[in-house]
Amino acid sequence: MTTPSNPDTLPQGTHIGRTALRVNDLDELTGFYRDVVGLSVLDETDTRSVLGVADTALLVLEGDTDAPSRHQSSVGLYHTAFRVPSRAALGDALARIRDRWQLGGASDHWVSEALYLTDLEGNGIEIYRDYPREEWPIADDGRVRISTEPLDLASIEAAATGGSRVPSGTDIGHVHIEVSSLDAFRDFYVDTLGFEVQTTVPAASFVSAGGYHHHLGANTWHHRTTPSDGRGLSWFEVVVPKSSALDAVQERVADQAIPVTETSDGIEITDPDGIKIRLQVESTT
């Protein structure tokens, strides 16, 4: 699998950073992501919780008791996908879900094994582990092939070790969003930001950087038509490995006259559906 040479594409090493959710019941959601998903609480105030693994923040919960429920026609989060480093960690996640919550689904995607659930306020969650990259099926055009097949839950369960927390090495492998238009999604995330299309299935598209199977998924399965609002996805981060990659994105964004907000460690832009994306350079500290 080769690294893209097109200067208008995001480089190898690009990945998803933190994801932020706007929630009503901060205490309850903090406990859910700690006890069911298995994250550790890294910082907590009356209005905000930061969860992750070791010293790495993965999820920010922004408490807002006045935030309305997401409207059924609104675009937004389909799921946040937490990637664990081993089948044993996936087995431990399955045990926690069965013990403390309920499993919503499970799939073998040829590139990964995935468990699905929904949190207390309706936010979708995927917990998955990748197969070794050399085992991913590749199409004739060089793109990664992704499918959805039944998952052997018995073998996942047998791999469990009894862990109550996700291990070091866990990260957010991808974010999957519901959009109003796949054409607009590709115009923004592929042509402007620089992701590359890996797989397209009916009413869904999966894009990535550096040949990963997908860093972002988008679908129109529920025919959402109105901008992001209310509870749910607040923003997510795209982290690039070097400042020149961020500079290139900023040039493409400027060419499209997309408004940019400076942040303490990068920039924030808004996609055509009102979803906020924060871009920053990988920290070397």
The b/e string for 234-266 (b: 16+ C-beta within 10 A; e otherwise) is bbbbbbbbeeebbebbbeebeeeebeeeeeeeb
Q: Give the pLDDT mean for 187-210.
A: 96
pLDDT at 226 over 60: yes
Alpha-carbon distance 8 to 248, whole Å? 7
pLDDT at 4 over 80: no
What pLDDT, on the 0 to 100 scale, is given for residue 3? 43
Alpha-carbon distance 275 to 196, whole Å? 19
The b/e string for 195-209 (b: 16+ C-beta within 10 A; e otherwise) is bbebbeeeebbbbbb
Give which of 276, 275, 269 is closest to 228, Cα–Cα.
275
* 218 confidence band (pLDDT: 50, 70, 90): very high
Q: Which CATH architecture has domain 15-281?
A: Roll (3.10)
pTM: 0.96
What pLDDT, on the 0 to 100 scale, is given for residue 283? 86
